[in-house]
Amino acid sequence: MSQLDESLASKWKKFKSFNFEANTQWKEYQENLTFPENLSAEKKQSLLSKYQKKFYLKHVDPTLKSYEIPYSVSELNGDSHNATMIFLHGFGDQSDGWSQTFDRFLSDEKFKKLKFLVPNAPSQPISLGFGMSFKSWYNVKSLAVEGPDVNEDVPSMEACFEKITQLIDREINEFGVDPSRIIISGFSQGGSVAFYYGLSCKYKLGGIAILSSWLPLRTQLQSLLQNPEFDFKNCKTPIFIAHGDADNVLEYKYGVSSKDYLVNQVLNQGGGSEHVEFHTYKGMGHSSNEEELRDLGRFIGKVLN
């Protein structure tokens, strides 16, 4: 974390601990507030929080600012959440379709305090595409995801990981979400980011959910695990892995081998594997289906409740 990030985190910590009820100016300010009729207690509290921030900026610390978001994002149910699921779409895609999918989850009572944060990957030149630009979380040099032909652009991937950390820091510091109530997840290329990032994250996360994807940077992950200074915070974090057995884009065998590598080469460091779920979906291609989404919803509910 940079000095600027530390300063911003400190400012938000002070805001969260500020005693509004003991502040005379706030009491006078609050007396003049008006709220729409028939507003639910939850919506009223959300609106009150916005007024508190406005008051704090004017009367306490005008230098407090929101975290910069490194991507354009869709945020669902962000008014008064206490948990967040970050979901990263696949290569060449965007957030719209997945946002519509997760919007359906919000009708379920157990998700009423959950925010779905669905970023859009930036458009960037891709080596495999002869320098043409595609929406992608990182540069792609090869189609190989494991074996001797793997050629990963580590700096490009690490730059992406830094931006995911910015999203998580924002949830923790600006919105007060505990890291143990944050799930990192994704589909295909987005799942590869979530897979490695979740295992190597400096925070103890609530869960990791991987759809039709693979575990990248395996050599780098082994080096990290062998570093005596590395704290493997997510060795026992619940992990959901799902793959269709008719996937002709990212073959089913890569989902299986990623799970096997996770269990036999990563979690053998002391985490065990009883917290890892692997789901196979008969006849499903490189996509999702209702059964998978039901299983994912059950996993989210189990992690957060």
Sheet holding 276-281, edge to edge: 73-76, 114-119, 83-88, 182-187, 207-211, 239-244, 276-281
Q: Is 180 a catalytic residue?
A: no
Q: Is 89 a catalytic residue?
A: no
Catalytic residue among 81, 89, 243, 286: 286
β-pair partners for 134? 124
Mapped to the 3 state alphabet, what secondary structure does the chain carry?
Answer: CCHHHHHHHHHHHHHHHCCHHHCHHHHHHHHCCCCCCCCCHHHHHHHHHHHHHHHHHHHCCCCCCCCCCCCCEEEECCCCCCEEEEEECCCCCCCHHHHHHHHHHCCCHHHCCEEEEEECCCEEECHHHCCCEEECCCCECCCCCCCCCCCECHHHHHHHHHHHHHHHHHHHHCCCCCHHHEEEEEECHHHHHHHHHHHHCCCCCCEEEEECCCCCCHHHHHHHHCCCCCCCCCCCCCEEEEEECCCCCCCHHHHHHHHHHHHHHHHHHCCCCCCEEEEEECCCCCCCCHHHHHHHHHHHHHHHC
293 burial (CB, 10 Å; 0-12 / 13-18 / 19+) is middle
Catalytic residue among 188, 192, 258, 288: 188
Q: Is 247 a catalytic residue?
A: yes
Point out the residues that are catalytic.
188, 247, 286
